[in-house]
Copies of this chain bind each other. A is one copy, B any other.
Amino acid sequence: MSTIKYPNGTKHAQMGLTSDYHSGRGMRLENDLNDSNAYYRAVDRALIYKKPTPIQVVRVDYPSRNRAKIVEAYYRTPSTTDYNGVYRGRYIDFEAKETQNKKNFPLFMVHPHQIEHLKKVHFHGGIGFFLIRFTAYDCTYLVDSEILIHEIETMDRQSIPYAWFEQYGHPVHEGYQPRLDYLSIVDALYFKEERHYEKTQK
Contacts and interface: CB of A to CB of B under 8 A. Distances in A.
Contacts of A121: 47, 86
B80 A74 contact: no
Nearest to A67: B74
A46 interface: yes
B125 A44 contact: no
Contact of A125 (B60, B72, B84, B89): B89
A21 interface: yes
A59 B72 CA distance: 10
A79 to B, nearest CB: 7
Contact of A126 (B54, B74, B79, B89): B89
Interface in A143-202: 201
A62 B6 CA distance: 14
A31 interface: no
A39 interface: no
Counting every copy of the chain, the complex holds 2
A54 B19 CA distance: 10
Given A86-B125, A126-B86, A55 B74 contact: no
A182 B6 CA distance: 41
A16 B125 contact: no
Contact of A51 (B51, B67, B75, B120): B51
A90 B92 CA distance: 10
Given A60-B21, A86-B126, A91-B85, A72 B70 contact: yes
Contacts of A73: 19, 55, 69-70, 73
B49 A52 contact: no
Given A47-B120, A89-B126, A57 B201 contact: no
